[in-house]
Structure 1
Amino acid sequence: MLTVDFDRLGVGAGTKVIDVGCGAGRHSFEAYRRGADVIAFDQNASDLNDVDEILTAMRAEGEAPLSARAETVKGDALALPYDDGTFDCVIASEILEHVPQDDEAIAELVRILKPGGALAITVPRWLPEKICWVLSDEYHANEGGHVRIYHADRLRDKVLAHGLRLTHVDHAHALHSPYWWLKCAVGTENPDHVAVKAYHRMLVWDMMSRPWLTRTAESLLNPLIGKSVALYFEKPVADGADL
C-alpha cells in the first residue's frame, strides 16, 4: 500500500532515493523495483533487518533490475549521515508526526536533496487524525506515538521556508480512515473485535484484488476523508548551476 506516487516523483533507473523513516519498507521496495539506487533509512534495527531480508529476496528473485542497488542504514533523521545534495529523491512518509523536533528533521530532508530533486512528505490528514485523537488516547499517547496533528498548509509553509517549491498536494487511503475510527472507538488494543476484524478483511481484500468498486470509492472519498495528505516539492536549481 503506497502513499507516495512514484510516477509523480519520476523515480526510475539510476535515481538516487532515500526513504527516511522507512518502517516496514514499502516505499523502498517500490523504488528498488523501479531500478533506483535506494537507501532504506530508519532508527529501528528490527524493522531494518526485516527490510534487508526482503530487499535481498527481491534481488535473488529478479524483482529489481541488476543495475539497481539497495541497502538499509540505521540512524537519526535529525542528523542524516550524508553530504548536502546527495539524493535525487527524498521520501519521508508518515514519520514527521512522530518527531518532536520536526523543524530540524525537515531541514535535514531539504539539505540532502539535490537541486532539481524531488521531496515527498506524507502525514496523517488533520480531520481523520483529529477524530482518532478524540475517540482514543491510546491511539497517540504512547511511546513513539503521534506528537502532533498537522494542518497541511502549516506543514507546507515549514518546507517552503527552506526555499523549495510546492508542486502538488494529494490525499490517500480514504478507506482506512473509518477503519481507524472503528479501532479507536472499540479500543486500539482490541484487534479481535468482530467489526474490526471484518473491516480489516475488507481492506486486505481491497489491497490484494484492487476491485473496481472499492478503488472507485476510495478515489471519490480521498479528497474528503483521505487518511494521509501527500505534499510534493522540488528544490530549485541556482541560476547557472549544473545538475
Structure 2
Amino acid sequence: MLTVDFERFPVPGKARVLDLGCGGGRHSFEAFRRGAQVIALDYSADEVGGVNNMFGAMAAERQVPSGARAASVRGDALALPFADGTFDRVIAAEVLEHLPEDGGAMAELARVLRPGGFAAVTVPARFPERVCWALSDDYHNVEGGHVRIYRRDDLIGKLRAHGLELIGQHRAHALHAPYWWLRCLVGVHDDDHPATRLYHRLLVWDMMRRPALTRVAERLLDPVLGKSEVLYLRKPRPPRPDDEFTAAPLTAEPLTAGAGRAGS
C-alpha cells in the first residue's frame, strides 16, 4: 500500500532516490520498479535486512528495468551518511512523527536533496490521529511510537524553514482510519479480535481488487478521513548570477498530475 502517489511524484529512470525511514520498503520497491537508483535507509537492522532481501528477489525475478540499482543501509535520520545534494528524490513516509528531534531530520532531508530536487513527506493526519490517541494510550505510548500529532500548517512551516517549497498536497487512506479506531477500541495489540480481522480482510480485498465502489468512496472521504497527510516539496535552485537581469522565472523539473491540489 503506497501513501506517496507516484503519478504526482514522478520518479524518472536512474533518478537517485532516498527512502528515509523505509520501514518495510514499500516506497523503495516502487521506485526500484521504476528504474531508479534507490537507497533505503532505516534505523532498524531487521527492516534493512528484509528490504535488502526483497531487492535481491526483485532483481532475480527481473521485476526491474535494466540499470536500476537498490540497496538498504542502516542509518540515523539525524546524521545521514551522504554528501550534500546527493539525491534527486527523497521520500520520508510516516517517519517524522516517531522522532523527538524532527527538525534535525528535516534539516538532513533538505541537505541531501539536490537543488531542484523533490521530496515527499507523509505523516498521520491530525483528526484521525487525535481519535486514535483519545481511544487508546497503547496506540502511541510504546517504544518507537508516535511522539506528536502534527497540524498541517505547522509541518509545512517547519519544512519551509529548512528551505523546501510546498508544491502539492493531499490526504490518503480514508478507509484505513476506521480500522485503526476499531483496533484502538478493542485493543491495539489484539490481532485476533474478530472485528479487526474482518475489517483487515476487507482492506486486503480492496488493495488486491481495487473495485470502483471503494476507490470512489475513498477518494470522496480522503479530504476528511484520510489517515495520512501527504506533502510534495521542492528544493529551489540557487539564483544564477544573471537572474536579476531577466524577467523569466526559474523553472524546475515538471511535477505532474495534481501538483497544486490541496487537501482539507
TMscore range, shorter length: over 0.9
Tell me the residue number matched to 1:80.
80
- 1:163 is aligned to 2:163: yes
Does structure 1 retain, via aligned residues, the 8 Å contact 2:110–2:163? no
Is the partner of 2:18 in helix, strand or coil?
strand
TM-score, normalization by structure 1: 0.98
Is the partner of 1:238 in helix, strand or coil?
coil
Tell me the residue number matched to 1:38.
38
Is the partner of 1:32 in helix, strand or coil?
helix
Between 1:154-163 and 1:23-32, the stretch displaced more is: 154-163
- 1:191 is aligned to 2:191: yes
Tell me the residue number matched to 1:54.
54
Is the partner of 1:66 in helix, strand or coil?
coil
Deviation, structure 1 residue 66: 1.6
Deviation, structure 1 residue 59: 0.3
- 1:7 is aligned to 2:7: yes
Is the partner of 1:78 in helix, strand or coil?
coil
Report matched runs for 1:93-132 at 5 Å: 93-132=93-132
Aligned residues: 243
Tell me the residue number matched to 1:207.
207
Gaps of 5+ in 2: 242-251, 253-264
Tell me the residue number matched to 1:174.
174
Between 1:3-12 and 1:49-58, the stretch displaced more is: 3-12
- For 2:143 and 2:224, the matched residues in 1 are separated by 30
Query: Which contiguous aligned blocks of 4+ residues in structure 1 show a shift greater than 4 angstroms?
Result: none
Is the partner of 1:70 in helix, strand or coil?
strand
Q: Deviations over 1:173-210 (max 9, x none)?
A: 00000000000011112221111111000000001111
- For 2:168 and 2:75, the matched residues in 1 are separated by 29
- For 1:137 and 1:238, the matched residues in 2 are separated by 46
Q: Deviations over 1:66-92 (max 9, x none)?
A: 201000110100000011111000000
Q: Deviations over 1:83-121 (max 9, x none)?
A: 111100000000100000000000000000000000110
Does structure 2 retain, via aligned residues, the 8 Å contact 1:9–1:89? no
- For 1:163 and 1:50, the matched residues in 2 are separated by 33
Does structure 1 retain, via aligned residues, the 8 Å contact 2:118–2:233? yes
Deviation, structure 1 residue 163: 2.1
Deviation, structure 1 residue 172: 0.3
TM-score, normalization by structure 2: 0.90
- 1:226 is aligned to 2:226: yes
- For 2:85 and 2:8, the matched residues in 1 are separated by 20
CA-based RMSD of the aligned residues comes to 1.3
Tell me the residue number matched to 2:139.
139
Tell me the residue number matched to 2:69.
69
User: What is the letter of the counterpart of residue 93 of structure 1?
Assistant: A
Is the partner of 2:139 in helix, strand or coil?
coil
Between 1:115-124 and 1:2-11, the stretch displaced more is: 2-11
Is the partner of 1:8 in helix, strand or coil?
coil
Q: Report percent identity of matched pairs.
A: 58
User: What is the letter of the counterpart of residue 109 of structure 2?
Assistant: L
Larger radius of gyration: 2
Does structure 1 retain, via aligned residues, the 8 Å contact 2:93–2:121? yes
